[in-house]
Amino acid sequence: MTYRTAHQNHPISLPGSPRAAQILHIQYPLPLMTDGPALNEDTTSEALRALLAEIDSALADAENAITTADSLPRLDELRINYLGKKGRLAGLNQKFGQLSAEEKPLAGRQLNNRKAEIVRIEKERREQLEAAEIRRRLEAEAIDVTLPGAAIASGHLHPLERTRREMEAIFRSMGFRVMESPEIETEWINFEALNIAADHPARDMQDTFFTERGRVLRTHTSGNQIRTMTELEPPLAIISTGKVYRCDSDVTHSPMFYQTEGYLVDKNISMGHLKGVLNAFLQSFFGANVGTRFRPSFFPFTEPSAEVDVECIFCKGSGCRVCSQTGWLEVLGCGMIHPTVLRNCGIDPENWSGFAFGVGLDRFTMLKYGINNIRLLYENDLRFLTQF
């Protein structure tokens, strides 16, 4: 018989002594890889027979348990219990002490061969369970690519912003420029220059938040007239939208709300131009057939002044709760720019004239979309906002 060692890849003759085995780094006594002589009932001791029976029964148990293990964790458990360092088969090794020197290799061979068989069975069962686990996961995690996709909710513009853009588009189409001015204003720009003197009763019309050094949170966007007319030369046609502040709060009033101010200054501008431009705007915004009416009113910065109503867009003028049965909804204030205002901005009222108007953006939005509480516009409640 010839063997190969790990170190010497050429055939060597079987060494006959432990010393030779040591030199060649091979195990001694050599493990017996083939079945040896059959065990003979008569020549074997009681102890060997008992041990062999024990080996048989332990290995039969192991085989039985392993082939029926129904999960990988269970199989791990069995591997440790039977094949582990402190497992049942290792325990059998300790009983070899009872055997004679001739019997030991016999029992060892029996144990090793059967153990190798169990190792193979365990590996086979492991592969089966792993394959089953992969199959189970593939089924559980299967993705049906034919299902319709989950729509991604996309945002949209806030109704106030939509109204602002719509208004700006209408006025741009009529040649107006869009400009901005600050929310913290001087009293001069917010009041005095607009012909609202400190002791003028008109100041009471607007409950004001005063800040430091004679400044106010602007109570209206009309101050934009003063800023732009002071800086720019007429002819001018400008609209300006932004936040305004008043000390006022109920279902139709919020301490912060939005206004759009607009004005036009040119030669020979009359009330007729005012009506033409505002009718065109209102009909474009609320619908081509909406009726409008101009009622005389008072504002310190215009003369004459008017308030404009549109036919109630909910009842078409027949009278309902929204229009308090009048058939009309008040939507804006307007008038011919007061000569004092033009003069305050360095514009000669003998050469130039103009009209101005102020629109509540919140009110327009509420009317357009049928919203009855102004606070809904500022609460950012998605249940409300997603309706638009």
Of 82, 281, 299, 352, which lies in the binding site for ligand DAH, with binding defined by CB under 6 A?
299
CB of 148 to ligand DAH, least distance (A): 51
Nearer to ligand DAH, 20 or 205 (CB): 205
CB of 335 to ligand DAH, least distance (A): 4
CB of 343 to ligand DAH, least distance (A): 17
CB of 359 to ligand DAH, least distance (A): 8
Could you identify the residue written with the tokens 């091979």? 26
Nearer to ligand DAH, 222 or 353 (CB): 222
Stretch that binds ligand DAH, among 4-12, 230-238, 284-292, 333-341 (CB under 6 A): 333-341
**Footprint (CB under 6 A) of ligand DAH, residues 240-279:** 261
First vs last C-alpha separation in the chain: 93
Residue 172 to residue 184: CA distance in whole angstroms: 26
Nearer to ligand DAH, 44 or 163 (CB): 163
Q: Which residue is nearest to ligand DAH (CB)?
A: 358
CB of 144 to ligand DAH, least distance (A): 59
Binding status of residue 122 toward ligand DAH by CB under 6 A: no
**Footprint (CB under 6 A) of ligand DAH, residues 353-372:** 356-358
Nearer to ligand DAH, 110 or 195 (CB): 195
CB of 265 to ligand DAH, least distance (A): 12
Backbone angles phi and psi of 12, in degrees to 5: -125, 160
Binding status of residue 222 toward ligand DAH by CB under 6 A: yes
3-state secondary structure the chain: CEECCCCCCCCEECCCCHHHHHHCCCCCCCCCCCCCCCCCCCCCCHHHHHHHHHHHHHHHHHHHHHHHCCCHHHHHHHHHHHHCCCCHHHHHHHHHHHCCCCHHHHHHHHHHHHHHHHHHHHHHHHHHHHHHHHHHHHHHCCCCCCCCCCCCCCCCCCHHHHHHHHHHHHHHHCCCEECCCCCEEEHHHHCHHHCCCCCCHHHHHCCCCECCCCEEECCCCCHHHHHHHHHCCCCEEEEEEEEEECCCCECCECCEEEEEEEEEEECCCCHHHHHHHHHHHHHHHHCCCCCEEEEEEEECCEEEEEEEEEECCCCCCCCCCCCCCCCEEEEEEEEEECHHHHHHCCCCCCCCEEEEEEEEHHHHHHHHHCCCCHHHHCCCCHHHHCCC
**Footprint (CB under 6 A) of ligand DAH, residues 170-209:** none
**Footprint (CB under 6 A) of ligand DAH, residues 52-91:** none
Of 48, 236, 334, 341, which lies in the binding site for ligand DAH, with binding defined by CB under 6 A?
334
Could you identify the residue written with the tokens 């939507």? 331
CB of 251 to ligand DAH, least distance (A): 19
Stretch that binds ligand DAH, among 73-81, 157-165, 247-255, 329-337 (CB under 6 A): 329-337
Residues in contact with ligand DAH, counted by CB under 6 A, come to a total of 11
Binding status of residue 333 toward ligand DAH by CB under 6 A: yes
CB of 382 to ligand DAH, least distance (A): 31
Calculate ∠ Cα 349-353-354, nearest 5°.
135
Stretch that binds ligand DAH, among 173-181, 281-289, 351-359, 364-372 (CB under 6 A): 351-359
Closest among 61, 36, 70 to 118, alpha carbons compared = 61
Nearer to ligand DAH, 130 or 231 (CB): 231
Binding status of residue 302 toward ligand DAH by CB under 6 A: yes
Residues of the shown chain interacting with ligand DAH in the complex, contacts defined by CB under 6 A: 220, 222, 261, 299, 302, 333-335, 356-358
